[in-house]
Amino acid sequence: MRNLLNVFFRFVADMVNGAERSFLDFLSALVPYFVPIIPAYLTYYHALTEMGFPVWVAMTAAFVVETLGLTSVSTAIRFKQHNKKYKTEGNQAPFKLAVFVYIFYIVVVITVNVILEIVSGTRGGWIIVSIALFSLLSFPASVMISIRAEYGELLEGIRQRYQKPGSSMTPEPQSGTLRKEKHASDYRDRIIEMLEAEHSRSGQVLAPKQITARLKLNHANNKGFVSTLTAQWRNGKGIR
């Protein structure tokens, strides 16, 4: 009964932990795209009330300004990573230009959402500071989106690199973490059992390629160990 309860509670704990990780990963992927709504609304409000723009123009301004901020940070981060990989001048991406675009975005946002508040004088200092901070929320959102994209590309590169024939490491299919590939030496006792069983059944000795195929091992990497172990086993049994 105690063992059954232990198995049950372990199952529940694993299920809850797995769901929690998946839920947090879902939120971290989704939330950054909603963050720019706050500075977009502030831009819309000030363009409408302080600058007298028509509603549709104010909405367009809010959308394009926040999209500019989101994409400029993301582009700058990607360009920076690209320039780390390709250092020759002809292969360099215009990282500084992307940074300049973001600086221009900052100037526009601060002018529309903060300077106009100061000029109107309708709100206190700390409220204006809060508006300024809300106006800059697209920066951490853009960074989060970019680093998640970079991490995804990194994992994909690791998968492609370590799934090549002869690789000693392979990635876990879901977690993206690396696990050590099994070698024939890890199956020493199993190989001997296979040799014993086949010889008792048919009087034949398994070939190294048959053994690696049954164990689903890379034959080129493991044939040396399997051949040596088979020869030792044959000598010990007096089999020629």
What does the DSSP assignment read for 131-172?
HHHHHTTHHHHHHHHHHHHHHHHHHHHHHHHHTSTT-SEEE-
What CA–CA distance (Å, rounded) separates 61 from 202? 81
- In tens, the pLDDT along 153-179 reads 777 777 776 665 555 454 554 444 455
Mean pLDDT for 62-83 is 87
pLDDT at residue 58, rounded to an integer: 92
Per-residue tokens: 61 = 């301004």
- In tens, the pLDDT along 134-154 reads 888 888 888 888 888 777 777
Please give the model's pTM, rounded to 2 decimal places: 0.57
Q: How far is CA 57 from CA 52, 62, 63, 230, in A?
A: 10, 9, 10, 80
What CA–CA distance (Å, rounded) separates 171 from 181? 9
Mean pLDDT for 189-194 is 86
DSSP type of residue 111: I
Mean pLDDT for 47-66 is 91
Which is higher by pLDDT, 204 or 181? Answer: 204
pLDDT at residue 175, rounded to an integer: 47
